[in-house]
Amino acid sequence: MVSALLAMAAPVASYAEDIQPAALTAAQSTLVTSAQKLGATDVRSFAAPDGGFILAGKLEGDQFSVAFPAKWNHSALLYVHGYSTPGTPVAVPDDPLSNGTGANGVLLEAYRDGYAAGHSAYDKAGMGVQTATENTLRLRNFLAKLGATRFLISGTSMGGNITLSLIEQYPKAFAGALSSCGVTDGWESLFGQLIDMRAAYNLLTEGTPYALPGEHDLTRSALPMDSPAGEAATSEAFRWGRIGQIAMPILSLAQAAQANPTGREARILKQVASIGGFEPEPASIAFPLVTATLGMDDLNRTLGGSIYGNDGKVYASAEMTAEEAAAFNAKIQRITADPQAVANARRWHQATGRFTVPLVTIHNRIDSLVPYAQSEALGRIVAAAGNGKRLVQYTVPGTKAPLPVGGVEGYTHCGFSPEQSAAAWEALRGWVETGKRPAVEAVR
């Protein structure tokens, strides 16, 4: 989700990102010409492995790119990426097979299996489920006119939620789906956890060196994400600076807690984590708080208000005494959900479990931003809908890596090995192509 912090995710299958112009075959030239006739603009082509080529351009002003293998089987895998910090450029890599897509190597695996593999940019950064759903569906229909006859969809993090949005709202568009580390329950539950954690952190660090900078109102972003007029730094440097401003106090708290496991800082860290429902470790505190503090203005603008309210909620924590819990509940900020915003969040998108195609999910047992509870919730939703035959869920252990700032190690978000991602893709592909449900031990 938070693109700048995802540098700590596990490495994916390698592929050179320095793409070169393609010398096209007659069939490939025909695809390019057809794309232009169908309304694609700014069309360019690049070389892809083993005689394939990449078709890049824009559809109604939005960038896309698709890699076609030399022996294209007329199937396609489309990828939907995760949440990016507000202010992030909306462009996606011209090379959909590169590490920079965030697809954990799945697009490259599909390409090697004869599938066209690609993605579309969204209209905006931040909360982008609606625009991603609409733009990806537009790319899907464009490829159908170019000759694709079967489509699969894959997404990570927020992209897992978009994947559910697509297969549940457009049941005939895709033949199968893969969600990796996805928000597969919905935004009310996830942002409820993130906002609770922010509220707890604000209260419990009040008056300490670890307090977050900027606005503490839970309904607003802590710091503005629009570069000031005349700002000399690039938008990338500006966003990294904002992320650092939020992350450094949190990581300083984590370092102090690590240095003195029985001290005040360790107690604060455990209490914040317990209120949010995350692990009491650096990444699982920093990732959610960066998302909640820098993305709130965008979330509220996009959905039309607050999707979460804690009026009347009684907070409890095994890390607090009864007296501490009473004081906490008396002082914590209370906010009210906006009914229209909640309705918008449920449309874009609260899972119903009523999809009609095979769905494979993979989730780390410990994930520092999208908790495993999202995967468990989807299982319950699908079971309640009587649709368990169409769902296969894989769980793999959590992984740790150094954080890109702060000099500490923490659990990753979407921390899959290339082998795990490839196995999840092959489980889906085999299920769609043969109709045989994959074995529960197919991904380890």
Output the pTM of the full model. Answer: 0.94
Pairing of strands 176-180, 359-364: parallel
| Pairwise CA distance, residues 86 & 153, whole Å | 25
What do you get for the CA distance between the two ends of the chain, in Å? Answer: 23
Please give the torsion angle defined by the CA atoms of residues 96, 100, 105 and 109, in that order, rounded to the nearest 10 degrees. Answer: 20
Chain-centroid distance, C-alpha 85:
11
d(CA 104, CA 85): 19
Question: Could you write out the DSSP letters of every residue in 135-204?
Answer: HHHHHHHHHHHTT--EEEEEEETHHHHHHHHHHHHSTTT-SEEEEES---S-HHHHHHHHHHHHHHHHHH
Q: In whole angstroms, give the CA distance from residue 347 to residue 387.
A: 20
- The CB density around residue 367, as the number of other CB atoms within 10 Å, is 26
Structure tokens at 349: 């998108």
DSSP 3-state of 256: helix
Which structural domains are found in the chain, ordered by start?
A: 3-186+350-434 (3.40.50.1820), 187-344 (no CATH)
What pLDDT tens digit does each residue of the chain (444 aa) get? 544 444 333 333 334 457 788 789 999 999 999 999 999 999 999 999 999 999 999 999 999 999 999 999 999 999 999 999 998 889 999 999 998 888 899 999 999 999 999 999 999 999 999 999 999 999 999 999 999 999 999 999 999 999 999 999 999 999 999 999 999 999 999 999 999 999 999 999 999 999 999 999 999 999 999 877 665 556 788 888 999 999 999 999 999 999 999 999 999 999 999 999 999 999 999 999 999 999 999 999 999 999 999 999 999 999 999 999 999 999 999 999 999 999 999 999 999 999 999 999 999 999 999 999 999 999 999 999 999 999 999 999 999 999 876 668 899 999 999 999 999 999 999 999 999 999 877 677
Would you say 101 and 84 are in contact if contact means Cβ atoms under 8 Å apart? Answer: no
Q: Cα–chain-centroid distance for residue 376?
A: 17
- CA-CA distance, 144 to 75, in Å (whole number)? 9
Contact call for residues 291 and 225 (beta carbons, < 8 A): no
C-alpha 410/C-alpha 366 separation (Å) is: 11
166 and 356 Cβ atoms separated by less than 8 Å: no
Q: Catalogue the E-assigned strands of 17-60.
A: 41-47, 53-59
Q: Are 52 and 70 in contact (CB under 8 A)?
A: yes
